[in-house]
Structure 1
Amino acid sequence: MSEHSLQTPKAKSKAHDVFRGTVFQAVLLGLISFTQPGIWTAMNNLGAIGQAEPHVINAVNVITFVIMIVLSQLASMIGNLIGMKWIVAVGTLGYVPYSAALYCNSIWGTQWFLTFGAVTCGISASALWPGEAAIAVGYPEVARRGVCISIWMALGKLGSIIATAIQLAINKDSNTTGAISPSTYLVLVAIQCLGLPLSLLLAPPDKLTRKDGKKPIFANSQRSFKTQFRGFLAQFKRKEVLLLIPAFVTAQWGVTYQGNYMAAYFTVRARTLAGFIIAVVGAISNVLAGWWLDSKHLKRTTEARWSWYFLLTLFTLVWIWNLVVQERWARESPGEIDWISESFGEGVAIFILYQ
């Protein structure tokens, strides 16, 4: 009895260290990413938004991204005041209404609900993206930062793998273009509902356990909104931030086009298979990127520079390739592209490189 009582505190302490450790926090972030933008991406890969009228699609996308542009900065500043954990929690609330709107549109054609869902999704994304990115970069030790970031990103892709695998089982016989099975939406909405409870498990910075014994700091000592706003404006004077703006724009520029591209040309099961392949390739790429970032063979400045050159070259070549293929298909339509069609490989390869 006495021996058991002496070991119990140690066991509890070890479990506490694991739960509050940076790797477990990265896993939590990955699962949150899985349930929120991961499911959103899976739906986009299926061309779910492409089932609405074109003018509604354009309005929905504009609303979502304009809200993100305006509110993301505000969410970051508020996060420094109240804690990034709570910003992430808020970021899990608005994806479900958007997915529910896609379901209602597929059944009853209620496209007004999509507009409402676009607003809630935009607000949540404005909070979730900066919140989880700040935690993913700020929580880990410097020596393990690349690994922890890759865990976060890879688990987000793992969510898409699971989601698209479910969709593939449901839609495997849909060898024509058109709507995906309504039951697909119900499964994905159920998964998205797990985001909020997962976010509440995140550790606050002062309770985090790191191997280097340090605690991450997310705000300066003057915890006022005015000070946070000045600090935010100061970031845009940094050369590193200005040089990354083209990459930020390029990475998101084709998102609205890609959903319409898949819905217009590919059958339901072809879109589902494409989404599955994208998720697998993305997860592998994230793990390799994490290994590269934590590599001791090169200086961090050299790693960053060569990573930038690689991404710049890749983005440029993919855009050129896509323009050539799109122009060819505009002149001579490939028809419905199924996974057994000759055009499937080329069409999906472009989409994979985008992602």
Structure 2
Amino acid sequence: MGLINTLKRLRYYSPMTQVVIVGFVCFLCPGMFNALNGMGGGGQMDRTTGNNANTALYCTFIVFGILGGSIVNLCGVRWTIAVSGLSYALYSGSYIYLNHTKNGAFTIAAGAILGIGAGILWAAQGMIMVSYPREEEKAKYIAVFWIIFNLGGMLGGILPFAINYHSESDSLSDGVYIAFVVLECLGACLGLALAPPSKVVRDDGTSVVLVKYTSAGREALEIVKLFLNPKMLGLLPMCFTSNFFYSYQFGPVNASIFNLRTRGFNNIFYWGFQMLAAYLFSFLLDNTRMSRRRRGLAAFALVTVFFNCIWGGTLKMQLRYTHGPLPSGETTDYPGGLLDFKDSKRAAGPMILYMLYGIGDALYQNLAYWIIGSLTNDNQKLSRYAGFYKGIQSLGATVAWQLDAKNVSYLHQLIGNWVLLVISLFPMFYVVATLKDHSEDLSVAKSADDEKAAEHELTHASTASV
């Protein structure tokens, strides 16, 4: 009976089906990118090109993340996601060129193009994920997406681990990059399978679209209003911090103290633990026996304690070394040299800590999306909110990747991450503490129904006059 009910919920025009489809798009596109990025420097021994490409990526991502929601509102989800997906394949393919020429210009340019595509894709994804479900199901839908999406990171960790298992090289082979390109092209094509939001109907018969019409002028005005919205300004530090830690975790930790095959091995569990954390976290966030505010405060407390604990453990580890492998051939100054997963006595502690990073990432970002989804149910507003979140997130990531590219000391990068986390907690607490049990757009839904009724009356009157 449970299986039959699940299958019924997976009808093509259901919200769950659409979230699953966009989950697999992100599994094959951003998921592969995350796996590649998780290797540190895009899987290259010298992280300079990878760091500069990420800086270029997030620079354009800032702009197109903020504009992305409006672009999706004007152009729809299918083609925006499909075309954006191809930018991931271009980026992965650029590393094949880098392997053979050692010229990073193409990779950096591909990173800038990817920033455009990623900004639009993530705005569309965020809108689908948090506006399609009913209010009491939002965390579950976020978790379903997060699990499917991070399967991509796991697969992307398995590929370099398996292909480079017996390799002594410090850079990924062409075969790994080709595999990424093929999978990302498949993901782009899958975007065309998405249904238009206007046709998506929830299980209770309600449409996911509250407002039908938009224009370039209106979207421009709404983007400006985002920066005047007290709630969005309160979430700005949270947005800025939400990806800031990636450059430190992937570079000064994973790429600096582990050998190549162990980096891939670590990423299998980094993304795997994200899936588990998102699934378990959804039970707290969707617990209807508690008010939305109480759920939010409990989740906030969990994230606060967890992140401070893992940064404390990281500080203890970071005080043991100052650099990773250098282009000159010098190895890391971590005691005993690079860690291999087979040397369990040395590697177990750092590997477990890296896996906990994955849990922390899932908790922080799932909470962020849940908070944003709690502000409204209007899909057009949420596409802009999701774009704002990803745009400001990219601003933080731009700064973070450039800090590593400029060889800022590992210890100072860690301190920066920790300080930013603490700063973000205060305004995040304010927003969570002021959440209401029902989103503010119920009046919008009513006005939309009134607009339809008025439109029907006008049509009827016109027909009668003829």
Aligned to 1:255: 246
Letter in 2 for 1:151: V
1:246 aligns with 2:247: no
> How many Å apart are 1:75 and its aligned residue?
1.5
SS of structure 2 residue aligned to 1:184:
helix
Q: Give CA-to-partner distance per residue, 1:10-56, whole Å, 9 cap, x none.
A: xxxx9897111111111101101101110011112222525264543
Q: Distance in 1 between matches of 2:309 and 2:237?
A: 15
Structure 2 CA distance, aligned partners of 1:177 and 1:338? 14
Structure 2 counterpart of 1:112: 105
Q: Which residue of 1 aligns with 2:326?
A: none
Instruction: State the superposition RMSD in angstroms.
Output: 2.4
| 1:142 aligns to 2:145 (yes or no) | no
Compute the TM-score of the two structures, normalised by the length of structure 1: 0.87
Note if 1:227 corresponds to 2:215: no
User: Aligned partners of 1:246, 1:156: CA distance in 2, in Å?
Assistant: 25
1:337 to 319, 331, 339: 339
What does residue 322 of structure 1 align with?
314
Q: Which amino acid aligns with 1:160?
A: G
Partner of 2:118: 125
Does structure 1 retain, via aligned residues, the 8 Å contact 2:99–2:174?
Answer: yes
- In structure 1, the partner of 2:409 is none
What residue identity is the alignment partner of 2:238? Answer: A
Is 1:80 paired with 2:73? yes
Question: Paired residue for 1:274?
Answer: 266
Q: 1:214 aligned to 2:206?
A: yes
**Matches of 1:218 and 1:196, distance apart in 2:** 28
Distance 2:210 2:79 in 1: 13
Structure 1 residues 303, 214: CA separation in 2 closer, same or farther (over 3 Å shift)? same
Which residue in 1 is equivalent to 2:424?
Answer: none
What is the CA distance between 1:220 and its match in structure 2? 6.5
Partner SS, residue 281 of structure 1: helix
Q: 1:177 offset after TM fit, Å?
A: 6.6
Q: Does 1:236 align with 2:232?
A: no
Q: In the alignment, is the contact (CA less than 8 A) between 1:146 and 1:293 conserved in 2?
A: yes
Q: Do the aligned residues in 2 keep the contact of 1:48 with 1:102 (CA within 8 Å)?
A: no
Name the stretch that deviates more: 294-303 or 228-237. 228-237
Q: CA separation in 1, counterparts of 2:104 and 2:124?
A: 30
Query: What does the per-residue CA deviation read over 1:285-307, in whole Å, with 9 as the maximum and x for residues that have no partner?
Result: 12112233222221112212222
- Kindly provide the CA deviation profile for residues 193-217 of structure 1, in whole angstroms up to 9, marking residues without a partner as x: 1122211111111211311211123
| Structure 2 gap segments, 5+ residues each | 1-6, 324-332, 359-466
Report the alpha carbon displacement of residue 107 of structure 1 after superposing the two structures with TM.
3.6
Pairing of 1:159-238 with structure 2 (within 5 A):
159-174=152-167, 178-217=170-209, 221=213, 223-238=214-229
**Partners of 2:317 and 2:9 in 1: CA distance:** 54
> Residue 243 of structure 2: SS of its match in structure 1?
helix
| 2:201–2:208 Cα contact (<8 Å) kept | no
Q: Secondary structure at the match of 1:19?
A: coil
**Deviation sequence 1:109-163 (CA, Å, 0-9, x none):** 2322211211121111111111101111111223332222211110011122223
- Describe the superposition over 1:273-329 as per-residue Cα deviations: whole angstroms up to 9, x where unpaired: 101111211111121122332222211122122222322333333334323322321
SS of equivalent residue, structure 1 residue 158 = helix
**C-alpha distance in structure 1 between counterparts of 2:290 and 2:230, whole Å:** 22
CA contact (8 A) 1:85 1:131 kept: no
Contact 1:141 1:212 in 2 (8 A): no
Match of 1:45 among 22, 38, 54: 38
Contact 1:50 1:260 (8 Å CA) reproduced: no
Residue equivalent to 2:297? 305
Aligned to 2:147: 154
Decide whether the 8 Å contact of 2:59 with 2:112 is kept in 1: no
Distance 1:350 1:56, change over 3 A: same
Distance 1:191 1:350, change over 3 A: same
How far apart are the structure 2 equivalents of 1:218 and 1:91? Answer: 26
Q: Whole-Å Cα distance in 2 between the matches of residues 16 and 249 of structure 1? A: 36
Q: Is the 8 A contact 2:29 2:85 kept in 1?
A: yes
CA contact (8 A) 1:147 1:290 kept: yes
Whether the 8 Å CA contact 1:35–1:192 is kept in 2: the answer is yes
Matched residues, number: 340
For 1:171 and 1:286, the matched residues in 2 are separated by 30
